[in-house]
């Protein structure tokens, strides 16, 4: 009323007064009473509303008050963070961007101490060396850790570097030293006293969690062995039939950023995930027993942790990284008496260490030319060494007298690295001034840290209060509003639920700072919808890997003279597995090939990605089970998620060997045989026993007689474990991962079995399809498959994708349609038919299309009668190949790809034939004819 009145124009005032006076005549006592009654009834209602209103008002005021407070606190904490970053940077600048620490290893039990104590830590920054004839030598470093120093003490000096990584700086922490002086101990540590890697990772997560930004952290691990890069997170081939891992190559962008093509980079959400990956990587490291160390690292082990934060402009870079490097041990060949492989390893390590010394020395001296290109190590670290990065080198020395020479070498190296201090020795006055300044900064830092902590606690309390009032945390509200205004952030959990089928329970345990954004999803390829198109273009723009020279695998078991060619040297390395010399036996497998030549490629700006990606389509596909199939198909350029990776490593493998579940061995038409059967197989294959060993996982164990030997296998519905892929060496058994009904997988497994068990048997030479595909042919595009091999192949491909709906040039198969066309494994029989001549073919007998026929032909009586719920498998040599019959009566042949290690025939004719084939293939590959689009038949024809 009041409001209404106030809004009335002043000119109506007289009218209003008149009307009120007019009303006066109606104010009888009855009227007044009735109005009073009405009013009497109102108070209750009104008071209630008023109470509610006032309560609402109060809580509304409270909320807005809290929100205001929170906003102020957040602003102050941001301000403090900026200050802290500046101070830290100043501090590190004063300390030096390249810092060198020295750690003296303690004498361990049973070690000969020697006559004198040659290395003594004089104080926290000086090492004293006692030489013969009472001579002494002193070395000065940023910090010296005496033999009794704990891992805690070491890490406390390392921690500032980790902080600056959170601030967006690239960093690099090395452990350098003679073999056996404790580099791995410092970096990796033991379960009781963890080293720098676990501590640094933990600190990164903690600091990321404490900050009020969202970070995405990824983990990669590689080693440089004999000058080659090897991804330690990718299973290395242990058998000749295993697919080769993708080549790693170093690329640089116009801004000098370094990216390693094909490196596996996995997003980690917490320290546990990171450590799991670390342990996984450590298992693949090349180690060997040497005179100096029972488990000597024979390579440089490099861990890369990348950090991305999109909404922190105060950070130095949006994406930065830290390298944690356990360098190979420097050694004097004269002393270690290494020979053969050990000698090569020692030489490679020493060369790269010397290159590293040169680079750091040049950086310290601010030379205009920095010799990065002299080794792979320095090329990889190019953007993490230098002015805008933080470098920390921990030089390790032995306390033993007998290691005095090596100790001097190491200390000289460290001094060279630290040359700026040598060249421009500071006066004590400047030194103490610097120290005072550093102390001041340190104190300021501590004060700021305390304030931040205090503010964080306040924010937490207010958030709790706010949550009680509204049910939502202010932080989240602010975040949501911020993100919605930015239009580029969404909750990772939602993404996970939608795209990755991550269990909600686990996904909600993710720390807030790990939530992804639309932007990150796009970059990481998690958003399949948005990325698929681009990926398609990406994959189209590159030739399929199966046609790349790197994938070529030649059966050069006995002829290892091909070292110069990349593709052939790869295969040589595979075969070196089999050609174990006494020295080589000791090194755990590493690729020995010139396959990882550095490519200094200038990426176009639009292709530049902050993300470490897996860009080799298909190469990693064999690692995945069905979930992986989706990953592999959906994007060739995507950030892998640790869950996908580690899910594969959940269980200990019950038995060895794994036939890749997702390898699609599709129908590959063979040329007609031009000559008769030679070298008839003597072995027979028959199923001996079969039993269900694990009801839950539907594991069925069976034995197959082959070549007079019994080989065990398991058919399992269980997804293969990563360990299956990584650590299986026994060659007497294998897993058949089934889609139990998918006999194709059985075929592959059988083929694997052949590869493992048929060493004495004679097999034909490999087809060029084998050669050019590096083992197995994969097709990701169903149209391509359909064109080449017909619709049945597409159906089959779809079946292998577990009934997923596939589009095929207008025709869509529904899951039911596919189901109807698929053999029911419980009733049908899959027959493995090693063809007597050149290749193994597999006959898959379709119930509708010739089951009887097949049974008639079956001369092997060892086939067991099928029992319900089991697969009946009959394996025998046959001379006929057959058949998929598709709707259009097309005959298709399923060809199993031959294992690479069993392709040798005996006899000079065959050796000669192989040589000719190899030369032919080599020449053709050299000429790049494969690149010109000649298909396998062309080469096959040429070679026959």
Ligand X SMILES: Nc1ncnc2c1ncn2[C@@H]1O[C@H](COP(=O)(O)OP(=O)(O)OP(=O)(O)O)[C@@H](O)[C@H]1O
CB of 394 to ligand X, least distance (A): 11
Q: What's the alpha-carbon Rg for the chain, to the nearest Å?
A: 35
Residue 903 labeled ligand binder: no
Residue 477 labeled ligand binder: no
The per-residue DSSP string of 554-617 comes to ---TT-----SSHHHHHHHHHHHTTS--TTGGGSPP---SSTT-----B--GGG--SS--B--T
CB of 66 to ligand X, least distance (A): 51
Which residue, 182 or 720, has its beta carbon nearer to ligand X?
182
Which residue, 167 or 331, has its beta carbon nearer to ligand X?
331
3-state secondary structure of 896: coil
Number of Cβ within 10 Å of residue 646's Cβ equals 17
Residues lying near ligand X in the complex (CB under 6 A) are found at 105-106, 108, 177, 179-185, 293, 295-297, 329, 396
Which residue, 343 or 911, has its beta carbon nearer to ligand X?
343
Alpha-carbon span 275 to 202, nearest angstrom = 9
Residue 178 labeled ligand binder: yes
| Cis, bond preceding 432 (omega within 30 deg of 0) | no
Phi/psi for 256 (5° steps) reads 90, 0
CB of 412 to ligand X, least distance (A): 18
CB of 202 to ligand X, least distance (A): 20
Which residue, 184 or 553, has its beta carbon nearer to ligand X?
184
The per-residue DSSP string of 153-191 comes to HHHHHHHHHHHHHHTT-EEEEEEEEBTTSSHHHHHTB-S
Phi/psi for 252 (5° steps) reads -125, 140
Which residue, 295 or 440, has its beta carbon nearer to ligand X?
295
Residue 182 labeled ligand binder: yes
Residue 721 labeled ligand binder: no
Which residue, 325 or 623, has its beta carbon nearer to ligand X?
325
CB of 373 to ligand X, least distance (A): 25
Which residue, 293 or 751, has its beta carbon nearer to ligand X?
293
Q: Are 403 and 251 in contact (CB under 8 A)?
A: no
Which residue, 182 or 877, has its beta carbon nearer to ligand X?
182
- Which residues are CB-neighbours of 939 under 8 A, at least 6 positions away? 768, 771, 772, 920, 921, 924, 930
Residue 181 labeled ligand binder: yes
CB of 190 to ligand X, least distance (A): 7
Phi/psi for 696 (5° steps) reads -65, -45
CB of 336 to ligand X, least distance (A): 10
Which residue, 246 or 346, has its beta carbon nearer to ligand X?
346
CB of 193 to ligand X, least distance (A): 8
CB of 120 to ligand X, least distance (A): 16
Residue 839 labeled ligand binder: no
Alpha-carbon span 697 to 322, nearest angstrom = 42
Q: Which two tokens stand for residue 373?
A: 């290109």
- From the number of C-beta atoms within 10 Å of its C-beta (0-12, 13-18, 19+), residue 62 rates as middle
CB of 170 to ligand X, least distance (A): 24
Residue 775 labeled ligand binder: no
Which residue, 85 or 183, has its beta carbon nearer to ligand X?
183
Phi/psi for 593 (5° steps) reads -160, 155
Q: Which two tokens stand for residue 507?
A: 């996904």
For the CA atoms of 465, 468, 471, 477, what is the dihedral angle to 10 degrees? -10
Going by C-alpha positions, the residue among 636, 557, 614 that lies closest to residue 914 is: 557
Alpha-carbon span 571 to 553, nearest angstrom = 5
Which residue, 295 or 814, has its beta carbon nearer to ligand X?
295
Determine how β-strand 126-130 pairs with β-strand 119-123: antiparallel
Alpha-carbon span 859 to 131, nearest angstrom = 83
CB of 185 to ligand X, least distance (A): 4
Could you give the angle at the alpha carbon of 705 between the alpha carbons of 701 and 709, nearest 5°? 110
Alpha-carbon distances, residue 478 vs 71, 482, 483, 495 (angstroms): 9, 6, 8, 20
- Which residues are CB-neighbours of 617 under 8 A, at least 6 positions away? 539, 542, 544, 545, 632, 636, 780
Q: Which two tokens stand for residue 711?
A: 């080989």
DSSP state, 499?
A: I
Task: Point out the annotated binding site.
Answer: 177-184
Task: Point out the annotated binding site for ATP.
Answer: 177-184
């Amino acid at each position: 009323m009041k409001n209404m009145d106030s809004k009335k124009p002043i000119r109506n005032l007289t009218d209003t007064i008149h009307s009120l006076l007019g009303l006066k005549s109606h104010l009888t006592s009855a009227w007044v009473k009735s109005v009073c009654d009405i009013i009497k009834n109102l108070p209750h209602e009104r008071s209630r509303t008023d109470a509610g209103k006032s309560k609402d008002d109060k809580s509304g005021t409270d909320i807005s008050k809290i929100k205001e407070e929170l906003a102020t606190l957040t602003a102050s904490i941001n301000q403090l963070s900026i200050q802290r970053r500046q101070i830290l940077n100043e501090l590190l600048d004063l300390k030096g961007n390249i810092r060198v620490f020295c750690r003296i290893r303690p004498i361990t039990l049973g070690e000969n101490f020697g006559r004198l104590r040659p290395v003594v830590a004089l104080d926290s920054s000086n090492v004293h060396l006692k030489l013969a004839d009472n001579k002494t030598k002193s070395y000065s470093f940023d910090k010296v850790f005496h033999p009794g120093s704990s891992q805690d003490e070491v890490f406390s000096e390392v921690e500032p570097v980790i902080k600056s990584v959170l601030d967006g700086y690239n960093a690099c922490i090395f452990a350098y030293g003679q073999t056996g002086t404790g580099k791995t101990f410092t970096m990796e540590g033991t379960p009781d006293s963890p080293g720098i890697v676990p501590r640094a990772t933990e600190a990164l997560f903690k600091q990321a969690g404490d900050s009020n930004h969202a970070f995405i952290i990824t983990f990669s691990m590689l080693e440089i062995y004999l000058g080659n890069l090897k991804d330690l997170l990718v299973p290395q081939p242990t058998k000749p039939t295993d697919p080769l891992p993708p080549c790693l190559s170093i690329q640089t962008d116009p801004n000098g950023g370094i990216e390693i093509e094909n490196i596996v980079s996995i997003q980690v959400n917490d320290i546990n995930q990171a450590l799991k990956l670390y342990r996984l990587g450590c298992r693949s490291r090349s180690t060997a027993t040497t005179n100096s160390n029972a488990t000597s690292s024979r390579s440089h082990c490099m861990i890369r942790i990348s950090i991305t934060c999109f909404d922190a402009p105060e950070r130095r870079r949006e994406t930065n990284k830290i390298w944690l490097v356990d360098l190979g041990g420097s050694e004097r060949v004269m002393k270690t008496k290494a020979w053969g492989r050990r000698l090569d390893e020692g030489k490679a390590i020493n060369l790269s260490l010397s290159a590293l010394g040169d680079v750091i020395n040049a950086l310290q001296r601010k030379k205009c030319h920095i010799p990065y290109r002299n080794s792979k190590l320095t090329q990889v670290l190019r953007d993490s060494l230098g002015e805008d990065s933080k470098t920390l080198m921990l030089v390790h020395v032995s306390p033993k007298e007998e290691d005095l020479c090596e100790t001097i070498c190491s200390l000289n190296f460290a001094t060279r690295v630290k040359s700026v201090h040598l060249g421009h020795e500071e006066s004590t006055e400047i030194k103490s001034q610097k120290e005072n300044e550093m102390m001041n900064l340190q104190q300021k830092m501590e004060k700021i840290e305390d304030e931040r902590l205090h503010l964080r606690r306040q924010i937490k309390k207010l958030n709790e209060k706010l949550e009680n009032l509204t049910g939502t945390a202010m932080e989240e509200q602010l975040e949501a509003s911020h993100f919605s205004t930015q239009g580029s952030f969404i909750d990772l959990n939602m993404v996970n639920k939608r795209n990755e089928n991550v269990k909600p329970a686990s996904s909600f345990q993710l720390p807030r700072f790990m939530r992804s954004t639309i932007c990150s999803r796009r970059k990481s390829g998690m958003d399949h919808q948005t990325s698929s198109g681009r990926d398609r273009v990406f994959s189209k723009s590159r030739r399929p890997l199966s046609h790349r020279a790197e994938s070529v695998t030649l059966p050069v078991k006995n002829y290892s003279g091909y070292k110069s060619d990349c593709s052939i040297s790869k295969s040589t390395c595979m075969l070196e597995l089999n050609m174990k010399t006494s020295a080589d036996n000791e090194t755990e497998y590493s690729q020995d090939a010139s396959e990882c030549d550095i490519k200094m490629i200038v990426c176009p700006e639009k292709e530049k990605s902050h993300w470490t990606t897996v860009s080799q389509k298909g190469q990693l596909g064999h690692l995945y089970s069905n979930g992986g199939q989706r990953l592999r198909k959906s994007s060739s350029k995507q950030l892998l998620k640790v869950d996908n990776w580690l899910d594969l490593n959940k269980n200990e493998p019950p038995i060895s060997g794994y036939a890749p579940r997702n390898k699609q061995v599709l129908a590959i038409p063979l040329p007609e045989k031009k000559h008769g059967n030679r070298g008839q197989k003597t072995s027979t294959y028959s199923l001996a026993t079969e039993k269900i060993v694990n009801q839950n996982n539907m594991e069925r164990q069976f034995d197959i007689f082959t070549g007079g030997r019994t080989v065990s296998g398991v058919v399992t519905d269980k997804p293969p474990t990563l360990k299956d892929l990584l650590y299986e060496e026994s060659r007497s058994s294998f897993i058949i991962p089934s889609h139990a009904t998918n006999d194709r997988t059985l075929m592959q497994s059988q083929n694997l079995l052949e590869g493992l068990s048929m060493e004495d048997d004679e097999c034909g030479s490999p087809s060029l399809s084998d050669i050019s595909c590096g083992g197995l042919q994969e097709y990701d595009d169903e149209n391509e498959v359909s064109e080449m091999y017909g619709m049945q192949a597409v159906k089959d491909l779809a079946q292998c994708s577990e009934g997923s709906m596939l589009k095929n040039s207008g025709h869509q198969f529904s899951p039911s349609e596919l189901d109807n066309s698929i053999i029911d494994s419980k009733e049908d029989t899959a027959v493995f038919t090693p063809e007597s001549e050149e290749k193994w073919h597999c006959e898959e007998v379709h119930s509708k299309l010739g089951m009887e026929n097949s049974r008639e032909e079956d001369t092997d009586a060892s086939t067991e009668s099928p029992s319900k719920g089991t697969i009946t498998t009959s394996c025998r040599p046959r001379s006929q190949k057959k058949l998929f019959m598709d709707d259009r009566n097309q005959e298709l042949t399923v060809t199993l790809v031959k294992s690479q290690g069993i392709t040798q025939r005996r006899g000079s004719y065959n050796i000669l034939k192989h040589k000719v084939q190899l030369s032919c293939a080599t020449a053709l590959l050299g000429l790049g004819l494969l690149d010109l689009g000649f298909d396998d038949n062309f080469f096959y024809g040429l070679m026959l």
